[in-house]
Amino acid sequence: MPKAVVINRFGGPEVLELVDRPLPPLEPGHVRVRIKAAGIQPVDFHIRRGMAPQGMTLTFPITLGNEYAGIITELADDVEGLAGGDEVLGFQALSCHAEEAVVLASQLVAKPAEMPWTVAGSLSASGQTAQIALEFLRVGEGDTLLIHGAAGGVGSAAVQLARHLGATVVGTASERNHEHLRSLGAIPVTYGDGLVERVRAVAPGGVTAVFDCAGGEQTLIASVELCGDRSRIGTIAAYEEAGKYGVERIAGPRSAARLAGLVGLWEKGDLRVTVSRTFHLDEAAEAHRLVEARHLTGKMVFVND
């Protein structure tokens, strides 16, 4: 029986369990995938703590993980255009931090042969979230975009996508991640006291949009001070404080078409995914502690041999 990382109660990393998990029946429109890699997202520890994303109902046991890459092993009779043995990447709310999963065929994209499994398993969530945010904030040619938490998975993707759109990008990060941001085309600044002044020093023409991937009330205060148009300030990390400052909460539907577009950008060399560390499923608690501590470079990923 395939194993999966599950929680049976909310709490800290200690509530994560690696257990045998029976898979649901293969219903119409679904396929069974042997998972080779699955990205680890901040949303995973938020769910572990009991914070359900909008519109999601949580019922124990919960298998975490919402992006993956793997090999199709079985298909429902009505699934067309796919076959057993196909290498794919995709997304699904929950269920992906496991050895195998039953997923919707409509949320799959073919994996390029040259794409590493770790990249394929960690592209969807960060890439799609970043792209949705940039569309929401109307980022384009001539903009100066400030990204808080720019060195993480979503932030790194947003830097590259914004640069591809013709924007100048200023990214906040710890000093150890400044060279990473420069390599992606961003102007790095250190977060913390004096942030507003540091951003103004490197962007004397002003900031036209802000994308917050870091969270925290001080981050929102600085964002409002730097950007006068609050409709162009959005957060994926400070939902509880967003309303207080009139900041937009960014969310939107993922799609296979959007993911295929991101894969195409990767193939052309216009989108890079940095994987800073990999874990096996039995190291889930350690992985969550590191992701929860923030200050990451790129993505952390579960891998199955």
- Could you tell me if 17 and 118 lie in one domain? yes
Q: Where residue 152 sits, what CATH number does that domain have?
A: 3.40.50.720
Note whether 162 and 196 are same-domain residues.
yes
Per-residue pLDDT tens digits for 177-210: 999 999 999 999 999 999 999 999 999 999 999 9
CATH number at residue 279: 3.90.180.10
Q: What is the pLDDT of residues 99-108, one digit of tens each?
A: 999 999 999 9
Is residue 261, in this structure, part of any structural domain at all?
no
Tell me the pTM: 0.95
- Taking the alpha carbons of 144, 150, 153, 156 in that order, is the dihedral positive or negative? positive
Give CA–CA dist 137/133, Å, rounded.
Answer: 6
Per-residue model confidence (pLDDT) at position 56 = 84
- Cβ burial 232-251 (10 Å sphere, 16+ → b, else e): bbbbbbbbebbeebebbebe
User: In the chain, pLDDT over 90 holds for what percent of residues?
Assistant: 92
CA distance 286 to 197: 36
Task: Give 188's strand partners.
Answer: 171
Residues 100 and 138 occupy one common structural domain: no
Are residues 149 and 181 located together in one domain of the fold? yes
Give the domain range for residue 158.
126-249
Residue pair 166/142 in contact by the 8 Å Cβ criterion: yes
**158-171 confidence digits (pLDDT tens):** 999 999 999 999 99
| Averaged pLDDT for residues 264-274 | 97
Pairwise CA distance, residues 90 & 112, whole Å = 13
